[in-house]
Amino acid sequence: MKAFTPKPYKLFNKIQNYEWGTKNEDAFIPKFIGTNAEPDIPYAELWIGAHPKSPSEIEIDAEHLPLDKIIESYCDEVLGSYVKNKFSGKFPFLLKVLSSAKALSIQLHPNKLQAVKLHTLDPKNYPDDNHKPEIAVAEESLIAIAGFRPVDEIIENLRALPELKFLTGGDLIEKILISKDEVENKELIKQLYRNIMIKAADKEKLSACIKNIVEILNNKSKLSLEEEQFIIQYKLFGEDVGLLSFFFFNIIKLEPGQAIYTGAGVPHAYIKGNIIECMANSDNVVRAGLTNKFKDVNTLLEIMRYDFSHYSIINASMKKDEVIYKTHAEEFEVSCFQKMKSFNKIFQTYNKPAVFLVAEGQLRVKWNLNNDLDELEFSKGESFLIPASLEEYEISASSDVKYYQVTIP
C-alpha cells in the first residue's frame, strides 16, 4: 500500500437491515442515498464510521479498504496525535442515518466503567467495552420517549390507570396517590417501576394489566400522544411490559432540526421517525422491552437514572442556517448547515479528523487550495472523511445545500 495521502476520502457505508426499519415506498435510507429499495427489506440504519461490526470503507490505490484497518496502519495520519492518544488509537464516534417504522427497544447505555464490566462478564450480549452517549437529530421528524417525567405528571397518569394494580397490587400506588412529599414519591415511583419490570415475568398478570388498559383506552373519545402510542405499539408488540413505560417517561416529538441527547443510564426509545444519530463508537445496549432481542431487566434497573424532569430539546427554536448541537460528549460534536449555493468557507483541521454527510444538494470540497485539480463534489446521501493530516480545506456549494459535520471537541 502506498503512503497515506492527506486529502478528503469518500466513505462507502453499510446498511443494517434490522426488522424495525422502514420498507418499500416508505424506506427512507434508499431515497436518502439515491438507490432503490428491495421489496420487503427493512432499511434501519446506515453506519458511517469505523466500528468493527460494520466499518465504512475508503478507496486507496483502486481498492476499497475498511476504515478501522486503515486507522490501524495510518493512525497518526487519520486521527492525529491528540485523538489517537485520547481515544487509544480508535475512531471515537459512529454516525448513523436511522429510519424507524416502529419502536426500537426500551433501552439505556452503560457508562464506561459499567461497559467494561458488562463486556467482561457477557461479551456476547455486550460486544463493546465503551460507553455510548448519543444524539438524535430529526432529519424529518421523530417521536421518542426519554427520561422519567416530572413526578406530578406520573401521579396524574397513575390516577388514570387503576389497571396497574393487576400487575403490582394496589398498596404502593395508593401510597403514591396520597403522599404529599415529593422526595418520598420519587422513591415510591422508583420502587413501583422496578416492581412493574420485575413482576412482568408473571405473564398472566401482565396480560390482565395491559388488556384492561387497552379496553379503557379503546373506549376513550380522545387519546393523549402517549395513549395513542400505547395502542399503536400494542398492535405491533402485544402484551409487552415496555408499553407501560409510556406512562412514566417523557414522550417527545421532534421537528426537523431539533435534537435530544441521551447520556449513560437514561432510559429511552425511538418510536418512529427519520434521524441523523451520532454516538461514541460503541454498540452496547441494555434492553428491557419492546423487543425480541436479549433483555437484561436486572442490569437496566441497576444502572437506570431517575431524573423526574421534562426532557431538554436541543435547538428548540428550530434554527436552520447553522446549528451546533452542544452536548457533554467528548467523542463528537454534530453541526448542521443549510447554505445557499454561493456559500464557501475555509476550514482548518487542527490535527483532528472530521466527517461530512450531505443531506440535500451538492457540496464541493477543495484541498491544496492553489491547485484547482484537487477538488471533489459530493451529492445528497454521500459522506466523506477529512483526515487529521489534511491541515486546510475549502467547502463550497454548487447548489443550495444542507450538510452535517461531525468533529471532535
Average pLDDT, the chain: 93
Q: What pLDDT was estimated at residue 1?
A: 54
**Does position 379 have pLDDT exceeding 70, yes or no?**
yes
Q: What is the pLDDT of residues 126-148, one digit of tens each?
A: 988 999 999 999 999 999 999 99
Burial 339-350 (b: 16+ CB within 10 A, else e): beeebeeebebe
Check pLDDT > 80 for residue 169: no
Q: Is a pLDDT exceeding 90 seen at residue 4?
A: no
What ranges do the domains of the chain cover? 150-247, 322-407
| pLDDT at 232 > cutoff 80 | yes
Q: Are strands 57-60 and 63-66 parallel, antiparallel or unpaired?
A: antiparallel
| 3-class secondary structure per residue, 172-206 | HHHHHHHCCCHHHHHHHHHHHHHHHHHHCCCHHHH
What does the pLDDT average to over 374-395? Answer: 96
> According to the model, what pLDDT value does residue 263 have?
95
Question: What DSSP line would sit under 321-385, residue for residue?
Answer: SEEEE--S-SS-EEEEEEE-TT-EEEEE-TT--EEEEEEESEEEEE-STT-TTSEEEEETT-EEE
Residue pLDDT, tens place only, 32-49: 999 999 999 999 999 999
- Indicate the residue type of 209: C
pLDDT value of position 2 = 64
pTM of the model: 0.94
Give me the mean pLDDT over the 352-366 stretch. 96
Nearest to 386 by CA among 361, 362, 365, 404: 365
Q: Is the pLDDT of residue 373 over 80?
A: no
Q: Which CATH superfamily is domain 322-407 in?
A: Jelly Rolls (2.60.120.10)
pLDDT at 294: 84
Average pLDDT (342-367) is 95
State how far the Cα of 263 lies from the Cα of 286, in Å rounded to an integer.
13
Tell whether the model's pLDDT for residue 25 goes beyond 80: yes
Please write the tens of the pLDDT for every residue from 308-346: 999 999 999 988 899 999 999 999 999 999 988 888 999
Instruction: Sort residue 83 into left (φ over 0), alpha (ψ -120 to 50) or beta.
Output: alpha
pLDDT tens figures, 203-221: 999 999 999 999 999 999 9
Section 268-286 average pLDDT: 94
279-to-130, 231, 275, 283, 329 alpha-carbon distances in Å: 11, 31, 13, 9, 8
Task: Report the catalytic residues.
Answer: 287
* Ordered strands of the 354-360 beta sheet: 9-11, 383-386, 354-360, 401-407, 333-339, 322-325
Mean predicted confidence (pLDDT) in 216-229? 92
Q: What value does the mean pLDDT take over residues 215-244?
A: 93
Given a contact cutoff of 8 angstroms between Cβ atoms, the answer to whether 346 and 399 are in contact is no
Angle of the 151-159 helix axis to the 171-178 helix axis, nearest 10: 120
